[in-house]
């Protein structure tokens, strides 16, 4: 019964000794994982109450099974949010890579769920055919262990790096992506196995509460799933981003228009999609042309809200 509530690795570790059960948190490097349903409130309003548990079970099962298959540990469910960690309690030297692989496989599984809802359109409202999940990842040091009150606790993680992963998930919408990670996750992933995941750079940002910028990346596809169209899209986008950071708005716009035609997620064509990175940066170029930044502008986007 305990095994149905937490990861099997935790059951094995916790039942080995009383000391493990009573142990407090310790600092450990890991990759934090957050996943949430996009526009969940609107979805819950349209799905009949009697069908909502089935939808949630399908979504939560897909996320949990795949992240655990890649070595991740489920932390908790918070409504429609799945919180997990890679690298604890069991040490995984390639935890960042595993998290990215899990995230991309989950996105594929969610696409299969959309297709299931389409086939069963007599049962499910049309909004389910646009079901999308946003995932945020960040790698760094965190406190991990048994946390809670004196009488009740759970194995969890906390710290600034964990909070940043949550902000990657919520911030993914602003950049028109479904999976977003920090440069620390991307760098650790490349160190574990270079080229296993194709990443798209999205430029530097400064998040509220942090003094220094960090670079954002979209894990866009696993190596075996990368098509020539996706490769060309990323190549054009990277060239456009370089022109954007150099304040060459005309050159950047020309390249972003070309990459927009090749984006794997197209508004009006891809279910549930209203934005993509090429369209986001076309809008940014238009805004900056209308209100030019100062000469010392470095391209860093400052996030004012958490």
Domain boundaries, the chain: 26-225, 227-306
DSSP run (H or E) holding 32: strand 26-37
Strand ranges (E), 159-302: 179-182, 197-206, 214-222, 301-302
Whole-angstrom Cα distance, residue 202 to residue 177?
Answer: 10
| DSSP bridge partners of 73 | 85
Whole-angstrom Cα distance, residue 19 to residue 287?
Answer: 58
Q: Does domain 26-225 have CATH number 2.40.30.60?
A: no
Instruction: Give phi and psi for 29, each to the nearest 5.
Output: -80, 135
How many CB atoms lie under 10 A from the CB of residue 120? 11
Name the 3-class secondary structure at 248: coil
Q: With 0-12 CB in 10 A as exposed, 13-18 as middle and 19+ as buried, what is 194?
A: exposed
Q: How far is CA 306 from CA 15, 164, 169, 215, 303, in A?
A: 39, 9, 11, 17, 8
Confidence at residue 21, expressed as pLDDT on a 0 to 100 scale: 45
Place of tokens 């080995």: 16
Whole-angstrom Cα distance, residue 142 to residue 185?
Answer: 14
Residue/partner pairs of 173-176 with CB below 8 Å, 24 or more apart: 173/38, 173/134, 173/275, 174/280, 175/202, 175/216, 175/218, 175/277, 175/280, 176/265, 176/275, 176/276, 176/277, 176/278, 176/279, 176/280
Predicted confidence pLDDT, tens digits, the chain (306 residues):
445 555 555 555 555 444 444 556 899 999 999 999 999 999 999 999 999 999 999 999 999 999 999 999 999 999 999 999 999 998 999 999 999 999 999 999 999 999 999 999 999 999 999 999 999 999 999 999 988 877 778 889 999 999 999 999 999 999 999 999 999 999 999 999 999 999 999 999 987 767 788 999 999 999 999 999 999 999 999 999 999 999 999 999 999 999 999 999 999 999 999 999 999 999 999 999 999 999 889 888 877 655
| DSSP bridge partners of 99 | none
């Amino acid at each position: 019964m305990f095994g149905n509530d937490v990861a099997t690795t935790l059951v094995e570790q916790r039942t080995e000794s009383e000391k493990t059960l009573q142990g407090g948190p310790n600092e450990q490097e890991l990759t934090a994982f957050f996943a949430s349903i996009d526009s969940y409130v609107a979805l819950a309003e349209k799905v009949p109450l009697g069908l909502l548990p089935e939808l949630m079970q399908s979504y939560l099962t897909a996320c949990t099974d795949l992240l655990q298959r890649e070595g991740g540990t489920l932390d908790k469910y918070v409504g429609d949010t799945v919180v997990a960690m890679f690298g604890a309690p069991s040490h995984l030297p390639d935890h960042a890579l595993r998290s990215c692989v899990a995230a991309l496989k989950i996105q594929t599984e969610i696409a299969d769920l959309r297709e299931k809802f389409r086939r069963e359109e007599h049962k499910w409202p049309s909004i389910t055919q646009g079901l999308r999940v946003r995932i945020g990842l960040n790698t760094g040091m965190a406190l991990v262990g048994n946390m809670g009150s004196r009488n009740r606790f759970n194995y969890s993680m906390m710290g600034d790096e964990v909070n940043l992963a949550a902000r990657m998930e919520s911030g993914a919408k602003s950049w028109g992506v479904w999976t977003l990670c920090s440069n620390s996750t991307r760098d650790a992933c490349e160190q574990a196995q270079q080229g296993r995941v194709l990443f798209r750079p999205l430029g530097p940002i400064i998040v509220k509460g942090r003094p220094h910028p960090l670079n954002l990346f979209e894990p866009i596809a696993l190596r075996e799933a990368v098509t020539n169209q996706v490769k060309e899209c990323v190549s054009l986008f990277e060239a456009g981003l370089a022109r954007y950071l150099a304040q060459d708005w005309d050159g950047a716009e020309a390249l972003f228009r070309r990459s927009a035609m090749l984006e794997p997620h197209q508004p009006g064509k891809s279910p549930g999609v209203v934005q993509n990175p090429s369209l986001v940066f076309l809008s940014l170029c238009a805004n900056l042309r209308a209100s030019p930044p100062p000469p010392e502008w470095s391209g860093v986007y400052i996030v004012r809200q958490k």
